Structures are given as C-alpha cells and as structure tokens.
Amino acid sequence: MKVDYCVFLDAGHGGLNAKGEYVTAPSKQFKHSRGDFHKDGWFYEGVWNRVLTYRVAQKLNQRGISNIVVSHEYLDISLQYRVDMANWYYDNYKKGIYISNHSNASSSHLARGFEIYTSRGVTNSDKIADIHWRNVNDIMGDRIRYRQDQSDGDHDREASFYVLTKTKMPAILIEHLFFDNYDDASLLMDDEVVERFAEAQARTVIQYFNTL
Ligand SMILES: [Zn+2]
C-alpha cells in the first residue's frame, strides 16, 4: 500500500554528543575571532544544520505533511546509510523529495551567499530548486547574498554529490550561506533567519507536491 507524499530531511554531518563533543569532520567547524556563536567563537555547521532541519520538520508536521529525518540526532552517519534509509522508506510513498541542509565554507573565509545544488542534467530536482530559489528570494529578499550558476539557464549549481545521485527521489542540497564568514555566520545565528529559511522549505514542498 502506497500513501501519498513524504519529505526526506537530511541535516548534513554530525552534531554534539551527550558530552557536548562535536563528533564530525574538523572542517565542518570554524572559530571566529569575535562573537560567541555556538561556543567561544566556534560555529558548528552540523549543529546549525540540525536546528534548521528540525524547524522544517516541525513546520511540515504542523501542516500534516509526512516527513522522515534521515540524519542521526548527532552521529555523522554515512551518506550511504542516509540515502539507503530514504530509498527504503520511499517505496511506501507515491512521491518524495530529499532535502540536504548544509552551510558552506571557503578557503579565504570571505565567500558569502546562498546556493542550491542539483544533480547534473534536467530532472524534477531542477523544478524543486527553481521553486525554492524563488521562495528564498521572496522570504529573505536582500537580507542575504545569492550565488548562482546561470550558464545553463537556471539558478541552481550542478554537482555529483552522493545524496543527489543515489537518491531515488528528486533531491536538492542547499548551502545556507558561509559559516566561516563572520557576517554570514552572524546571520545564521539570527533565529528569524532560521525561521525564514525553514518557512521557505515548507512552501517549496507544498508548491512542488501541488505540481504533481
Ligand atoms: Zn556541509
């Protein structure tokens, strides 16, 4: 028996364990020279990814939209496990979307902005990315910067990330600003910014499912 639609939510990397230790790759954190962020100037990408992802799940639940969080509460569980889990549960639904939530970093720590990635070629993932790009623009306006690749006529960037190519359902990976840039990281710590990013995802899910 298949029931309607499900959203598979993936908070990138690992988070804080019960001892308060950040259990993920060292590159997924940054110590700013000023400000407090998550702890003593440290910004933990995986912690932020979870804050946003759980906010999205809460909104979807409130709107009666099935969703499954495929990332672990804090473990940096493998991408294969996350994707296998989504693909297994997807067999019980007619349609689905996979959304991987991240924040970016650059070697110069100067890069800023919002990006959406899809797999290469034109698929339903591009449709979701287009809808989401518009929603984020509507909801965030000029509060944030945007990075886009318009060489192929759309706003999303293309990459062969595991979660984009091995998922059975359309998938997008979102890089929410750059956590190693002080100004972007400060935006990410603003609860209203989190709320607006989450609201944009809820609207994107509804609009995409309405097109099917
Ligand atoms: Zn990431």
**3 alpha carbon – ligand 1 mean position (Å):** 32
Q: How confident is the model at residue 152 (pLDDT cuts 50, 70, 90)?
A: low
The amino acid that residue 108 corresponds to is S
CATH code of domain 3-211: 3.40.630.40
Residue 124: CB atoms within 10 A of its CB come to 16
Instruction: Give alpha helix (H) positions in the chain.
Output: 45-62, 79-90, 124-140, 162-165, 182-188, 191-211
Q: How far apart are CA 57 and CA 63, in angstroms?
A: 10
From residue 168, how far is each of 1, 15, 24, 172 by CA, in Å? 18, 26, 26, 12
Q: How large a percentage of the chain has pLDDT more than 70?
A: 96
> What is the pTM assigned to this prediction?
0.96
Task: Report the C-alpha gap between 144 and 140 in whole angstroms.
Answer: 7
Kindly give the distance from the C-alpha atom of residue 63 to the centroid of ligand 1, in angstroms, as a whole number. Answer: 27
d(CA 175, ligand 1 centre) in Å: 7
- In angstroms, what is the span from residue 5 Cα to ligand 1's centroid? 26
Label residue 1 by pLDDT band (50, 70, 90): low
CA of 168 to the centre of ligand 1 (A): 21
Q: Would you kindly state where each structural domain of the chain is located, as residue ranges?
A: 3-211
Question: Mean pLDDT for the chain?
Answer: 95
How deeply is 195 buried, as exposed, middle or buried, from its count of CB atoms within 10 A (0-12, 13-18, 19+)?
Answer: middle
Q: For residue 25, what pLDDT is reported?
A: 94
CA of 27 to the centre of ligand 1 (A): 9
pLDDT digit string, tens, across residues 38-79: 999 999 999 999 999 999 999 999 999 999 999 999 999 999
- State in Å: Cα 12 to ligand 1 middle: 5
CB proximity list for 4: less than 8 A, separation 6 or greater: 66, 93, 94, 95
- Bridge partners, residue 31, by sequence: 42
Nearest-angstrom CA–CA distance, 97 and 75 = 23
Q: Which amino acid is at 19?
A: K
